Structure 1
Amino acid sequence: MLPRLALVPGEPAGIGPELCVRLAQQPRTDCTLLAFADPATLISAAATLGLPLQLIHEDAVAKLPGDLRVRPVPNASPATFGHTDPRNARAVIEALTKAAGACLTGELDGLVTGPVHKAAINAGGIAYTGTTELLAEHAGRPVVMMLANEIVRVALVTTHLPLREVPDAITATTLEEALRITHAALRGDFGIPHPVIAVLGLNPHAGEAGHLGREEIDVIEPVLRTLRAAGMDLVGPLPADTAFLPQKLRSVDAVVAMYHDQGLPVLKYSGFEQAVNLTLGLPYPRVAVDHGTALELAGKGTADPSSLFAAVATCARIATIRRAHRAA
């Protein structure tokens, strides 16, 4: 049986719904999809694109281009593409938690998510920092955010924090946890038996032997020594400005960055359209698009669906690997 994936479009006023309509046009041989979404928004997106869309019962089989199985999560207010409505924040979160719940129970095998609009959710009265954090709390698991494309995988020790809070958040505990989760995911989800991980320093020049900061000496290097003794192949701490040189990336399977904007600009420059966002450490695979809601493009039919296509393919591949491990 093919992996069964949940699909959540995200912000109803953004490009997520139309990307899901484009996805529904593609025949799938690697998974089946069940959308957790507002039906009226999907129908409106299909009409805008001029593409066929048949929303079918979740127990039916998608056979034709445009067939999409749906578990309805209605919006409180009709969506207007390009203009967020805080009244729909609750439906956005409900779609995410219902889809995640179906994965936790084993009803579904993985979760693919479209872009959400943080400001609109908070304006709707829901405290929200990101879907990674939401799913971690929902599952009760520590997680790691990883972004990946065909060139590089970048995992983060800290995610959506103000820059002035980052050094205090990088402790021996948080760093070791991030490295262990990343190492386990590279082995279990990506099928790399002996992964090599490059670990960046926090400070310029990785601290320059303490002259530009002591986090490398006091926190990062001791953790790396401990984990190397446990059998992990870790390189670093490396200066971030040279760690992404092509010849260095060829010898590692992933890079662990200390904070969001240390590693992700390089990844996005190297291949933004095909990049995906993974949440490592959950009991199920979760893969998201690596772009925002693009309100300025919503409803115009020009948004590139490549990241969503890549997210579904990646999630299906990981779900298949996990299923094989469980059966072994």
Structure 2
Amino acid sequence: MIKRPIIGITMGDPAGNGSELSVKALTDPKVYEECRPIIIGDANCMEQAVKIAGKEGQIKIHPVEEVKDAKFEYGTIDVYDMGLVDMEKHIFGKVSKMCGEAAFQYVVKVIELVMKGEIDATVTNALNKEAINMAGHHYSGHTEIYADYTHTSKYTMMLAHDNLRVVHVSTHVSLSQACSLVKKDRVLDVIRIANQACKDLGIKTPKIGVAGLNPHCGENGMFGTEEIEEIQPAIDAAMEEGICIPEKKPTPPDTVFSKALGGWYDIVVAMYHDQGHIPLKVKGFVYNKELKKWDAVAGVNITLGIPIIRVSVDHGTGFDQAGKGTSDALSLLNSIEYAILFARNRK
């Protein structure tokens, strides 16, 4: 039996609900049966979150300065204590330089720990892009931070919920810029990354669907030529390498995800951010209009192509819910499960 991997979980923006989600996720004893989790964050925030989550008497916070000092015992949450939050200035739901700096440093630290081999995989709670930029760190999100600090140039984002998986040719850019980034070399790189990701998940021969960019894949050039000039050449090159693309051509974006749900593909290559995000969130985010609350906020975000494992919740900082004790930890639990799966397959 493979030893339980050590999973480093960043607390996210201290003004958000990441600390509460972390407490709720780690009250599930199954997590400790499968891995050894440690929170990278502030112990004071986590102590506060225990009260907010209503887990006093059940959960104790154990601050540590080094991973080797963690207990990894159910009922005790180990926290790699960064001590970056002044609780007298801490306000839930408010964008601040202090919280942006803290959230950024948690991410930098977890990357450092995994690169040094002290932990096996990383899971990230949400940060606030405005807050980290306010703190002087000019990144558009976790993906770009991880790529920078691991010195990676060819990477992409994968979203996953159950057996629906999507990777992206581009992510955090304008739509007009996204269209200009659909180039053969980039599409081919993302197809290769998608293929390897599925293998890392234990899929022996992944089946890959490649979405078109234009309506009906351009109708032979009537509505755009990207499919002819960029996407098809990338597909041809990938198939020459032995990668399985069942349709041998781009699939119209209005049907590719229905086919994926039907089992045609193990993963879909989407051409831009919203093309991939919308179907995943339609499936994973379920709002109860009668109770006026979210029944589920499921799905995970995985950075592929980097030399370490990074899985994230597929939602924001929850500023509107922070501090209220009502946040749902399902996406974080999903993320931990994926991190464990990747860690085991890589070992």
SS for the counterpart of 1:177 is helix
CA distance in 2, matches of 1:55, 1:247: 42
- Find out whether 1:63 has 2:89 as its counterpart: no
Match runs of 1:34-73 below 5 Å: 34-52=38-56, 53-56=59-62, 57=64, 58=67, 59-65=69-75, 67-73=76-82
**What residue in structure 2 maps to residue 16 of structure 1?**
18
**What residue in structure 1 maps to residue 293 of structure 2?**
none
**What residue in structure 1 maps to residue 127 of structure 2?**
116
CA distance in 2, matches of 1:255, 1:247: 7
Structure 1 residue 210: Cα displacement: 0.5
Structure 1 residue 208: Cα displacement: 1.0
CA distance in 1, matches of 2:311, 2:10: 11
Contact preservation (8 Å) 1:77, 1:88: no
TM-score, normalization by structure 1: 0.94
Q: Tell me the alpha carbon deviations over residues 29-50 of structure 1, each in whole angstroms, 9 at most, x when there is no partner.
A: 1110111101111111112222
Structure 1 residue 145: Cα displacement: 0.4
CA distance in 1, matches of 2:262, 2:235: 19
CA distance in 2, matches of 1:159, 1:125: 22
SS for the counterpart of 1:311 is helix
SS for the counterpart of 1:71 is strand
Structure 1 residue 247: Cα displacement: 7.2
CA distance in 1, matches of 2:49, 2:150: 31
- Find out whether 1:307 has 2:331 as its counterpart: yes
Structure 1 residue 170: Cα displacement: 1.7
Name which of 242, 252, 263 aligns with 2:276: 263
Q: Tell me the alpha carbon deviations over residues 52-72 of structure 1, each in whole angstroms, 9 at most, x when there is no partner.
A: 34222342323342x111111
Bigger shift: 23-32 or 78-87?
A: 78-87
Which amino acid letter does the alignment assign opposite residue 18 of structure 1?
E
Name which of 145, 151, 156 aligns with 1:144: 156
Structure 1 residue 285: Cα displacement: 1.5
SS for the counterpart of 1:211 is coil
Bigger shift: 173-182 or 45-54?
A: 45-54
Contact preservation (8 Å) 2:197, 2:304: yes
Q: Tell me the alpha carbon deviations over residues 172-207 of structure 1, each in whole angstroms, 9 at most, x when there is no partner.
A: 2211111111111111x2111111100001111111
Contact preservation (8 Å) 2:164, 2:260: no
TM-score, normalization by structure 2: 0.89
CA distance in 2, matches of 1:76, 1:124: 13
**What residue in structure 2 maps to residue 95 of structure 1?**
106
CA distance in 2, matches of 1:112, 1:242: 32
**What residue in structure 2 maps to residue 26 of structure 1?**
28
Contact preservation (8 Å) 1:243, 1:249: no
CA distance in 2, matches of 1:136, 1:208: 36
Instruction: Kindly report the root-mean-square deviation, in angstroms, between the aligned alpha carbons of the 2 structures.
Output: 1.5
- Find out whether 1:155 has 2:164 as its counterpart: no
**What residue in structure 2 maps to residue 326 of structure 1?**
none
Q: Tell me the alpha carbon deviations over residues 291-326 of structure 1, each in whole angstroms, 9 at most, x when there is no partner.
A: 011111111111110000110111011101111xxx
Structure 1 residue 151: Cα displacement: 3.8
- Find out whether 1:292 has 2:301 as its counterpart: no
**What residue in structure 1 maps to residue 229 of structure 2?**
218
**What residue in structure 2 maps to residue 244 of structure 1?**
257
Contact preservation (8 Å) 1:151, 1:271: no
Which amino acid letter does the alignment assign opposite residue 100 of structure 2?
A
CA distance in 1, matches of 2:25, 2:256: 35
CA distance in 1, matches of 2:337, 2:233: 38
CA distance in 2, matches of 1:43, 1:286: 25
Contact preservation (8 Å) 2:10, 2:124: yes
Contact preservation (8 Å) 1:152, 1:249: no
Structure 1 residue 120: Cα displacement: 1.4
- Residue 280 to residue 25, structure 1, CA distance change in 2 (3 Å): same
Q: Tell me the alpha carbon deviations over residues 190-237 of structure 1, each in whole angstroms, 9 at most, x when there is no partner.
A: 111111100001111111110100111110001111111111111331
* Gap runs ≥5 in structure 2: 286-296
**What residue in structure 2 maps to residue 7 of structure 1?**
9
SS for the counterpart of 2:33 is coil
Structure 1 residue 51: Cα displacement: 1.1
CA distance in 1, matches of 2:9, 2:330: 15
CA distance in 2, matches of 1:312, 1:104: 19
Contact preservation (8 Å) 1:151, 1:270: no
Structure 1 residue 76: Cα displacement: 4.4
SS for the counterpart of 2:213 is coil
CA distance in 1, matches of 2:107, 2:70: 22
Runs of 4+ in 1 over 6 A off after TM superposition: none
Q: Tell me the alpha carbon deviations over residues 132-161 of structure 1, each in whole angstroms, 9 at most, x when there is no partner.
A: 111011111221100001141011110111
- Residue 25 to residue 95, structure 1, CA distance change in 2 (3 Å): same
**What residue in structure 2 maps to residue 134 of structure 1?**
145
